Amino acid sequence: MRRPDAVLAALLLFSITLVAAVIGTSTAAPPLTADRIAQLPRDKQAPWKEYLESSNRQMAADRAFLAAELKRAGLEHTILPPSGAAARSLPLDRAGEWYATPEASRLAEIAISFQTPAGGWSKNLNLADHVRRPGEHFAPNNLSRFPTAGDFDAPHDPEWTYVGTLDNDATNTELLFLAKVATAAKGDFAAHSRAAVLRGLEYLLRAQYPNGGWPQVWPLQGGYHDAITFNDGAMVHTLEVLNDVAAGRASFSFAPSDLRKRANAAVKRGIACILSSQIFVNGRRTVWAQQHDMLTLEPVAARNYEPVAESSSESAAVLVLLMSLPDPDKAGMAAIESGIKWLDRTAINGKAYTRTQDGRRLVDAPGGGPIWARFYSIGDDHPIFGDRDRSIHDTVDEISAERRNGYSWFTPAPKEALDRYAEWRKTHQPTTH
Half-sphere exposure of 238 (CA within 13 A, CB side): 37
| Cα–Cα distance measured from residue 134 to residue 130, given in angstroms and rounded to the nearest whole number | 12
- Which residue, among 310, 277, 314, 309, has the nearest Cα to 296 in the 3D structure? 277
Catalytic residue of the set 132, 303, 360, 404: 303
Phi, psi of 92 (to 5 degrees): -110, 5
Give the three-class secondary structure for 215.
strand
Of the listed 124, 168, 172, 211, which one is catalytic?
168
Sequence-ordered list of residues with C-beta below 8 angstroms from that of 286, at least 6 positions apart, any chain: 278, 279, 280, 310, 338, 339, 342, 378, 381
The phi, psi pair for 296, rounded to 5°, reads -95, -20
Residue 303 annotated among the catalytic residues of the structure: yes
Q: How many CB atoms lie within 10 A of CB 260?
A: 18
3-class DSSP state of 352: strand
376 sits in which H/E element = strand 375-376
Query: What is the number of alpha carbons within 13 Å of residue 31 lying toward its C-beta?
Result: 16
The whole-angstrom separation of Cα 22 and Cα 395 is 9
Q: Is 56 a catalytic residue?
A: no
End-to-end, the C-alpha distance of the chain in Å comes to 59
Q: Rounded to an integer, what is the distance from CA 82 to the centroid of its chain? A: 22
Q: What is the dihedral of CA 255, 257, 259, 262, to 10 degrees?
A: 140
DSSP string, 84-130: --HHHHS-S-S-GGGGGSHHHHHHHHHHHHT--TTS---SSB-TTS-
**Number of other CB atoms surrounding residue 203 within 10 Å:** 23
Q: Which amino acid is at 338?
A: S
Angstrom distance (rounded) from CA 117 to CA 310: 36
Report the catalytic residues. 168, 303
